[in-house]
Structure formats: structure tokens, C-alpha cells
Amino acid sequence: MLSAATALGASALVSGSARAAPAGAPPGAVLYEVPDDPTKEQGRPLLADGGYGTRSQFESEVRSKAGNPTDLTSWTFTPLAAQIGNLTPSGLHFERHHGGIPTIDPARHQLILHGLVDTAKRFTMADLKSLPSVTRKHFIECSGNTLTEWAKPTAKTVQVTHGLLSTSEWTGVLFSTLAREVGLKDGAQWVLGEGADASVMTRSVPLEKMLSDGMIVYGQNGEAIRPEQGYPLRLLLPGYEGNTHIKWLRRLQVSDRPFMTREETSKYTDLMPDGRAKLFTLQMAAKSVVTFPSADMMLPKPGLYEIRGIAWSGHGRVQSVEVSVDGGRSWRFARIENPPEPMCTVRFSLPWAWDGQPATLQSRCTDETGATQPTRDELVKLRGLNSVYHYNAIQSWAVAADGGVSNVHA
Amino acid sequence: MLSAATALGASALVSGSARAAPAGAPPGAVLYEVPDDPTKEQGRPLLADGGYGTRSQFESEVRSKAGNPTDLTSWTFTPLAAQIGNLTPSGLHFERHHGGIPTIDPARHQLILHGLVDTAKRFTMADLKSLPSVTRKHFIECSGNTLTEWAKPTAKTVQVTHGLLSTSEWTGVLFSTLAREVGLKDGAQWVLGEGADASVMTRSVPLEKMLSDGMIVYGQNGEAIRPEQGYPLRLLLPGYEGNTHIKWLRRLQVSDRPFMTREETSKYTDLMPDGRAKLFTLQMAAKSVVTFPSADMMLPKPGLYEIRGIAWSGHGRVQSVEVSVDGGRSWRFARIENPPEPMCTVRFSLPWAWDGQPATLQSRCTDETGATQPTRDELVKLRGLNSVYHYNAIQSWAVAADGGVSNVHA
């Protein structure tokens, strides 16, 4: 029962029998023997974890790759079906980077704010942390989330169809606070954000958005933001597509026009049916997905189940979520499990008595602007099939008579 | 720049110079070389972390021991001064256990609910997860938090004076839901909670509290609760003293009277000035503390600082927080940085222009019941000096002319 540790990629059992090693134990996990009666054996002492705790050896969900990313430009998906509550554990936050994860010393990192300002300034991390801060809970969704569903449904799990979505409590300085520090000049309309990674990731953001709720964040879920999420500094734009939340943020340039960077011309535009591309479709639309039951699961037998899912909108608060078990012919309002906050996920649920017959489960979100998540047919009618990004149609999961759940286009 | 890992207690530098190893790098941290210009070097690839991410190598805050605990019955303190925002990272949540941390297989764990009920029942973890759930953010505070301050101030940091306090988003089943499953009999007034650890920790809780907001939780900050916090199941009693939130929960027994267990007779009572002990002083009172600047810090020079702190109450929402820089002679209302939730911490802040003269910093919390945090003199007048638990007096930090900050009784 004493503490010990192993190298990442291997697992070791501490003073005990093989019974203690669960099937899916994560790589590197320290495995403790499981006593027959834990009340008859002294538990392990404190600080065996070095003072920074880890998950139970029985918890093994991880972010995963999909869609053949290369080793260098890549993304990983949050295991949404395993998420409990309305936060994504920082270690499971989805990631997307365009030049790998840089290693940045916060003592040397600076943010430059210049362009159409009265006085250009550099801010150290200490400068930023000494300014008034705000703490807000928001989701970030990659604009490419659910892009698998434009084509025939082949993605096998909700982790792959919807896992480019995560929710954190973010802490940092409002851009409006920095703007008062430097003074904005007449004509200021756009702000460029630039990352310190190997892709020098850049996006243009309307000044109006930056001033209304744009944040320069250094905190995530109570501690410094994680390396994959932009340590030590990230731009946070509530409700905007993920790639605009520039990670490893090092520069903000105020201008009278957008900068037409690589990532807003060759990429991250929406190709319409007529062959023209829409630029700057920045706000993520109302969306939801059932996470239980979802594809690749098996319901053991007919009976009472609690349908569970996640809903969100980049346009404001979630107003309501409806659930259908008959492929959209009839709908019932789901219970919203937490007070809706602006540009933040909610968890929803609805009890369901499954009679053992085939069923098609769906959910649809309506946000406070009145916008409702479209069916796939409605979305395709509007947008065609040339698009890659911003797929927000209703997701369908088919439950077969044997209890198997699969991804279908209803 | 490739990934690698080392045994806990050692650190290894990955393909790079010693410059990359920060002074306080945590044990076991994987250290990556820091490039001079991160935009000129491809960053590290995804999933070097095995799919469950960790902190930056530059972040090294840990829970710490203090007060000479033994190896077996012990506590660790949350590093409050380093906390960003209003959540405690799960790995830094304070811990207190009476028989060590047991290792429990969730597939074999059950909760028994019996006593004055119509039908006693056992619930597996799967049973509990299939019931309607709620997600709520609450603090947990050990009744012994700040017990150092009954005596002359010797504790050197806010981690030791106030670090038995942490805040999480908790997910689980309301006790009222389970009560409907089993049916309560006439005369039911109290509920015993029992843990599956080596101390078989037990406390009696008023049924009224259990029915109003008592939760059986399996989720913490988006994932399964951590082993130190009661994996796989814990009782959560918003605003009640920490020891009643029974960890590794295995049994709930409904009764017509309290059970007068060891932990509510020989311990966790409040010895009054007349030598009699108060039992069942369960709700934590209104309290707050300045975390920056706090003891053992050094202000480099006179100038503008952002005073920051945490406030909470076990009786409801925080209504207001006031800050004094002159030892309580004058007070100003602090800015509350997040919407107050019931029995949940808030972060507060106030700009302060330090003139270089000695100053005494204090904060006081008022909750929605109108209760205000007392001065130390007021608390001692009421409670005497026999007490161990439930110290909630205003905390004073003295700032000397040289910028050094220390713990004082003002």
C-alpha cells in the first residue's frame, strides 16, 4: 500500500495482486492493491502524489486522435460521453494546433499591444496579473466540430462527432481594460491576434467583439492555463470559433480593417453552394448532442434510462432543449441541469422508458435569440455540401432492437 | 522536443539545455527545452501526455503538510495564494482523512440506504449514475481551518492559515431522490453517513438538511471525484463542516435521533468558555481572507496593487466583502468578481495605492443572512479560547515599510 511511481507508458502494481490492475488503466498510472475490505486496512498516506493529485487508477478516459491528423498539425477530441457535469477536466480539453505545442517561459513572455493606439505597450505576465481580472465560464468549439456529418455518417462515437468542444472557467483581463491602458485611435475597427507558436497563428477580430467581452486569459479551472491551451496566455472570445481564441498570444495589433491572414482566407471560410466563400463566420450557432445513449454504446435491456446531453450556443444563453425518441416526429422539453450562462454549455436530461423497439434519439437546442438548431436537411438546403466548418444540425442516434446504438442520418 | 517521462521524484530534461529547468519544477515533471524563439521551432506533437494533460513545467504549486500530522491521520492544505479564479484544481483540493486513502473498485462499491425506510436498498455506482443528477458549485471547508489563529500568530502563509478550503463543481444525485426510492418512515429525523475507509468515518446529519440540498456525488470538476476526495462516492452537504461530507460513502442509515458517534462527541465539538462542549455546530460561518498580498510575500516597492481574496459562507450567498488597509478603522466595498452562488466562494478585489508606510490589510464578509465576520476580539469574547474549530475571525496581514508581509493579530 505504499506509494511508488512508474515511467509513463508502463504501469506497476504496488505491493499487490494482479486483481488491482483494471483493464483500461491509463499509461503511467500508479496501481494500488484493492483490499477485500478497505475498512480493515490502513489507506495510503498523504502526498504520495507529490502534492498534486491524479485520477483514480480506475479512470482511463483520454483525448483521442481521429481523421488521420499528422503528427505535427493536429487535433484531439474530448471524451464527451464520459464527462460528468458541466466542466471539461483541463487534462481532457480538446486541442487543435497548427505548429505543435511550444514551450514558453512565462518569465520571458510578453504581450505587445500596438497599431491604432495612442501609446503602444508591452505587458509582462506580472503586468497582466496585476490588472483587474474577471472569471467566466465559457465553451470553446472548433469550427470544424462535427464536420464528419456533412458526409455519410461513419464516425463511430460522440467523441469523434462532437468532441472538439470543451468548457472551462477562464480567468484573465478584459481587452477593454488593456484598451484603456493604451488608448484607441479614431478609425480603429479590427484587432489582430498573433500566437507565439511555430505557425504564428493569426486571426482578425472585430474591435466591437474585443471590447464587449474579449479576454486575455492566463487562468483555466483555478490554475494556469495548460500548455495545449496556450500557456501562458490566450485570447478568449466567448462564442467565437475556436481558432480565433489565439493560443500562446504574444501580439495584438489594432487596425481599421481585417488583416486577411492565411487562416481567414485559405482556411476557416465557408464555401457556399454557388462556389463563393463566406468570410468571418465567427459565431458558433445553437447546437446540442445526446451523449447518453450515443453511438457505439449498447443498452443492456428495455427499461428506464436517463437520456443525457450537452447544449450550447455562441449567440448567448441556451433557452431550451428538446429531445425526440422517434426521429423528430415528436419532442419533449428536457430538464436543464444548470443555470444557463452566456456562451456556455448546459447539461440536459430526460427520463426515457425504452420499450425494446428501434428508436431514433435526437436533441435540438434553442438559444435566447430564438434560433433553433436545424435538421440536417434544412442545413444542407441552406448551405449545400461544399462546407467544411460550422455544421450544427440535429444529430441522430439509432437504437436497434438489440440495444446497439449507431450514428445515422435520420 | 520529443516527449519522454521520468519517475516521480526525479526530473529529466528532454533534449535540451539546463536553462529549461525552472527552479521549482514539480517532481516527475517532464521538462522541455525552451527555444529562444518558439515561432522558429516546431512545437511538440499531440498526445505526448498520453491523452490526459498535465501542468506546464513552470507551474509547481503543491498541497502541503503543516502542523506535524502523522503519516497516517493527516491533512494537506490548498495553496490559496496561487489559485486563479474561483475553482480549486482537483489535484490541489485540500485533504483530511482519518485512516488514509483507501483504494476502492467502483465496480464493487455499493451504497446501502436503510433504517427508518419502507424498503432498504443497495445502489451500485451504475444505479446511482442512472438516476437524475444535479451539478452544483460549492466550497468545502474543514471545521479546523484557521485553528492556528486562536493562539499567537505563528503560521507563515495563507496556505497554512486558510488552506483547508477548496471549491469544486460537484455532480451527483440529491438525497431527496434516493429518499423517494426507499420511502421515509414517520419519525425519521437524522441520517448517519458512513465511509468505507479504515476509520469507518461516521457522522449524523439532520434529515432536514439531507432533504433540502444533501447530495451523493460521484463527479468533481467534470470527471470522477479524486481518490483523496472519496472516490468513487462522497456525501456533499453544502455549507456544512468538511468532516460531515463523508468520503468513500458506503452506508446511509435513517434514524429518529443522532447516533452520537466518536467524531461528534470526542471530536468536532466546540468547547465553550464555561467548559461545556457544543455539539453539532455544523454550518460554517461567514468568512474571508486576503490572498494577495498575504504573509510571507514581499511588495517590491510602493505603488498600485490589486488586493485579492476569497470570501464564503455556509449560510448562503456572499452579500458583500469589505477591505481595510488600516487595520479595520475604515472599510471600502470590494469588487465581487463572480456571481455569488449559495454556499460557494467568491473572489473579490480592490485596487490599493500603497504609499510605502506600514499598513494592516483585512477583509470582512457579510452573507445574505446579514451575518458579518467578527473581529478576533469579538470572536474570543463570545467563544473564549478553549475552541479548536470554527474560527472565522477577520484575518490581519501587516505590511512593513520594507514591503514584507506578516501574520499579525490586529
For the segment B93-118, what is each residue's pLDDT rounded down to a tens digit? 999 999 999 999 999 999 999 999 99
Name the pLDDT band for A39 (thresholds 50, 70, 90). very high
User: What is the rounded CA–CA span in Å between residue B367 and residue B344?
Assistant: 11
Say if residue B3's pLDDT is above 80. Answer: no
Say if residue A7's pLDDT is above 60. Answer: no
Point out the residue among A27, A103, A228 whose CB comes nearest to the CB of B33: A103
Sequence spans of domains, chain A: 1-60, 110-278, 287-408
- Are A91 and B231 a contacting pair at CB < 8 A? no
Q: Nearest-CA residue of chain A relative to B72?
A: A45
Point out the residue among B50, B101, B222 whose CB comes nearest to the CB of A44: B101
Nearest CA to CA, how far is B188 from chain A (Å)? Answer: 28
Q: What is the pLDDT of residue B45?
A: 87
Which chain A residues are within 8 Å of B354, Cβ to Cβ? Answer: none
For the segment B62-89, the average pLDDT, to the nearest whole number, is 86
CA distances for A384 relative to A270, A275, A376, A380, angstroms: 10, 10, 11, 5
Say if residue A23's pLDDT is above 60. Answer: no
User: What is the rounded CA–CA span in Å between residue A260 and residue A264?
Assistant: 6
Of the two residues A45 and A209, the one the predictor is more confident about is A209
Amino acid identity at B398: A
CB neighbours of residue A114 within 10 Å: 15
Q: What is the pLDDT of residue B16?
A: 33
Nearest CA to CA, how far is A110 from chain B (Å)? Answer: 12
Nearest CA to CA, how far is B285 from chain A (Å)? Answer: 24
Q: What is the pLDDT of residue B48?
A: 85
User: What is the rounded CA–CA span in Å between residue B169 and residue A194?
Assistant: 33
For the segment B44-56, the average pLDDT, to the nearest whole number, is 90
Report pLDDT digits (tens) over B231-254.
999 999 999 999 999 999 999 999
Burial class (CB in 10 A: 0-12, 13-18, 19+), B17: exposed
Backbone angles phi, psi at B128, to 5 degrees: -65, -40
Print burial letters for B397-406: b (CB count within 10 Å at least 16), e (below 16).
bbbeeeeebe
Cβ(A95)–Cβ(A229) below 8 Å:
yes
Name the pLDDT band for A72 (thresholds 50, 70, 90). low
User: What is the rounded CA–CA span in Å between residue A69 and residue B143?
Assistant: 51
Q: What is the pLDDT of residue A190?
A: 98
- Are B228 and A196 a contacting pair at CB < 8 A? no
Which of the following CATH numbers is that of domain B287-408: 3.90.75.20, 2.60.40.1220, 3.40.50.12280, 2.60.40.650? 2.60.40.650
Burial class (CB in 10 A: 0-12, 13-18, 19+), B110: middle
Name the pLDDT band for A66 (thresholds 50, 70, 90). confident
Q: What is the pLDDT of residue B4?
A: 29
Which chain B residues are within 8 Å of A49, Cβ to Cβ? Answer: 91, 228
State the Rg of chain A over Cα: 23
Say if residue A258's pLDDT is above 80. Answer: yes
Report pLDDT digits (tens) over A348-358.
999 999 999 99
Q: What is the pLDDT of residue B293?
A: 98
Q: What is the pLDDT of residue A81?
A: 97
Residues 6+ positions from B151 with CB-CB distance below 8 Å: none
- Are A104 and B38 a contacting pair at CB < 8 A? yes
- Are A83 and B223 a contacting pair at CB < 8 A? yes
Nearest CA to CA, how far is A132 from chain B (Å)? Answer: 7
Q: What is the pLDDT of residue A49?
A: 87
Which chain A residues are within 8 Å of B91, Cβ to Cβ? Answer: 49, 52-54
Point out the residue among B28, B32, B131 whose CB comes nearest to the CB of A306: B131
CB neighbours of residue B366 within 10 Å: 18
The lowest-confidence range among A241-250, B40-49, B81-90, B350-359 is: B40-49
Name the pLDDT band for B67 (thresholds 50, 70, 90). low
Point out the residue among B52, B53, B65 whose CB comes nearest to the CB of A46: B65
Say if residue B8's pLDDT is above 80. Answer: no
The lowest-confidence range among A5-19, A201-215, B150-164 is: A5-19
The lowest-confidence range among A137-141, A222-226, B13-17, B310-314 is: B13-17
Percent of chain A residues past pLDDT 90, beyond the cut: 86
Which chain B residues are within 8 Å of A198, Cβ to Cβ? Answer: 38-43
Interface probe for A, chosen from B75, B87, B166, B251 (most Cβ of A below 10 Å), is: B87
Q: Kindly report the average pLDDT of chain B as a whole number.
A: 92
Say if residue B20's pLDDT is above 80. Answer: no
Name the pLDDT band for A27 (thresholds 50, 70, 90). low
pTM of the shown model = 0.93
Point out the residue among B34, B41, B50 whose CB comes nearest to the CB of A198: B41
User: What is the rounded CA–CA span in Å between residue A148 and residue A159?
Assistant: 12
DSSP state of A147: G
Q: What is the pLDDT of residue A67?
A: 61
Interface probe for A, chosen from B221, B248, B298 (most Cβ of A below 10 Å), is: B221
CB pairs under 8 A between A and B: 330
- Are A133 and B218 a contacting pair at CB < 8 A? no
The upper half-sphere exposure of residue B326, i.e. CA atoms within 13 Å in the direction of its Cβ, equals: 6
Which chain A residues are within 8 Å of B180, Cβ to Cβ? Answer: none
Cβ(B13)–Cβ(B21) below 8 Å:
yes
Nearest CA to CA, how far is A182 from chain B (Å)? Answer: 17
Interface probe for B, chosen from A33, A34, A52 (most Cβ of B below 10 Å), is: A52
Which chain B residues are within 8 Å of A51, Cβ to Cβ? Answer: 26, 62-64, 76
Instruction: Report helix, strand or coil for A208.
Output: helix
CATH top-level class for B110-268?
A: alpha beta
For the segment A54-72, the average pLDDT, to the nearest whole number, is 82
Which chain B residues are within 8 Å of A5, Cβ to Cβ? Answer: 7-9, 28
Cell of B328: 479595520
Fold of A110-278: Sulfite Oxidase; Chain A, domain 2 (3.90.420)
CB neighbours of residue B18 within 10 Å: 8
- Are A83 and B53 a contacting pair at CB < 8 A? no
Say if residue A196's pLDDT is above 60. Answer: yes
The lowest-confidence range among B47-56, B67-76, B165-174 is: B67-76
Name the pLDDT band for A25 (thresholds 50, 70, 90). low
- Are B39 and A200 a contacting pair at CB < 8 A? yes
Say if residue A3's pLDDT is above 60. Answer: no
For the segment A33-47, the average pLDDT, to the nearest whole number, is 93
Q: What is the pLDDT of residue B69?
A: 59
- Are B56 and A226 a contacting pair at CB < 8 A? yes
Q: What is the pLDDT of residue A71?
A: 63
Q: What is the pLDDT of residue B21?
A: 42
Q: Nearest-CA residue of chain A relative to B218?
A: A84
- Are B35 and A102 a contacting pair at CB < 8 A? yes
Q: What is the ipTM of this complex?
A: 0.92
Say if residue A19's pLDDT is above 90. Answer: no
Point out the residue among A7, A53, A133 whose CB comes nearest to the CB of B90: A53
Nearest CA to CA, how far is B35 from chain A (Å)? Answer: 7
